[in-house]
Amino acid sequence: MARLFGTDGVRGVANESLTAELALGLSMAAAHVLGDMGGGGGRRPVAVVGRDPRASGEFLEAAVIAGLAGSGVDVLRVGVLPTPAVAYLTGALGADFGVMLSASHNAMPDNGIKFLARGGHKLDDAIEDAIEADYRHYLSGAEPVRVRPTGAGVGRVHEYTEGFDKYVAHLVAVLPNRLDGVKVVIDGAHGAAAKVAPEAFARAGAEVVFTLGAEPTGLNINDGVGSTHLDGLRRAMREHQADLGIALDGDADRCLAADAQGAEVDGDQIIAILAVAMREAGTLRGNTAVGTVMANLGFKLAMEREGIELVETAVGDRYVLEAMKEHGYALGGEQSGHVILLDHATTGDGTLTGLMLGARLAATKQPLADLAAVMTRLPQVLINVKGVDKSRAAGNPELLAAVAKAEGELGSTGRVLLRPSGTEPLVRVMVEAADQEQAKAVAEQLAGVVREQLAI
């Protein structure tokens, strides 16, 4: 039976694979596993529950809260807030665990459930497996693992309306300096930070000259806006003569940027900028940044030139975070814009990342394009191959042979990375080369082999 948990919680098409029944059962299981880990002392466990603005989040939130309260967990309902806000509040309020309903950058029909451990940290595989095992036991109709509470033993549900202000105040408080004089354009992806991000930048002293993706309807999240659709932000930067543009995703745990000319500044460049800033400030612990194997070769060369160590992990912000926590590093992230500033957040935080970029602009008085020039991106082509059986990607001999041949052609001037997505039904083909046309040709050739060999 396929594992329910992917690299970022449980995701699926809302009311199709991700049903109210699944949300209810998973929440009951999480209450048992996470509640037992953090509760005790004669009190009921407490959970923080938040969501992004997707319409399906309304009924899924109701199911999650019912499962938690019916299992004897008190719920602090914080409403529509970013994933990093729910993580922060889980820690700041001393809750036993947190739950976020979001499918991040995925299109609106999808939704997801993420569980956060005490302190606002992502779960490790063993805990996810324990939750899934408890859930499957519940599905089997076997004897209940635990007796359900009744009467005064059931959980209570409380509206926690102070979450927005508490989170924004935290973001502004951790900045190294104010953003006075910095003109900003913000694309909120019609998502969870559509209101949070403009408020945080304004309180930090920036002038928010334009916003887009700031009117969530529940149906338009990530629809032509946000970190996966940068054209609107790039146009707005040129039109409004702003200094910094940031684009968030649906749950605001990632951030990409644009400079005054509308050029994209990706996650690798953002990490490079912040790594140099933190090294100068003495806050880059171990003089090390953490990235993934998907990081551009230009990023690696830049870190080497700046004398900053680079630790590489598997793709996925959870693996970056694991390496950071294990070795005590303060900065890490992915090219896609998941940037983790572990001194101030337990997850990637797009709004915080954007604020830190703004603070660097304000402190140096340099344009973002000049700061981003710390690294030169080598041509990199990424093709997402849909409609294939991603589970066969690692063991298909014809595909492995095609990858080996491509690597031989590229030599030391490029590389190939082929991997199944952890959150979507597709295989990612990434090719890096000294020449854009060569990278494109090799990527398209490999994508064709993937379609042929892994066809469903």
DSSP assignment of 393-435 equals: TTT-HHHHHHHHHHHHHHGGG-EEEEEE-SSSSEEEEEEE-SS
Q: Is 70 exposed, middle or buried (0-12, 13-18, 19+ CB in 10 A)?
A: middle
Q: Is 249 annotated as a binding residue?
A: yes
Q: Which amino acid is at 350?
A: G
Any bridge partners for residue 292, and if so which? 313
Task: Tell whether the torsion through CA atoms of 314, 316, 319 and 320 is positive or negative.
Answer: positive
Between CA 19 and CA 1 the distance in angstroms is 18
How far is Cα 50 from Cα 86, in angstroms, rounded to an integer? 6
Residue 129 labeled ligand binder: no
Cα angle 92, 96, 98 (rounded to 5 degrees) comes to 75
Give the Cβ contact number of residue 49 at 10 Å.
25
Whether residue 34 contacts residue 126, with contact meaning beta carbons closer than 8 Å, is answered with no
Q: Looking at the annotation, which residues are catalytic?
A: 104
**Binding-site annotation: residue ranges for Mg(2+):** 104, 249, 251, 253
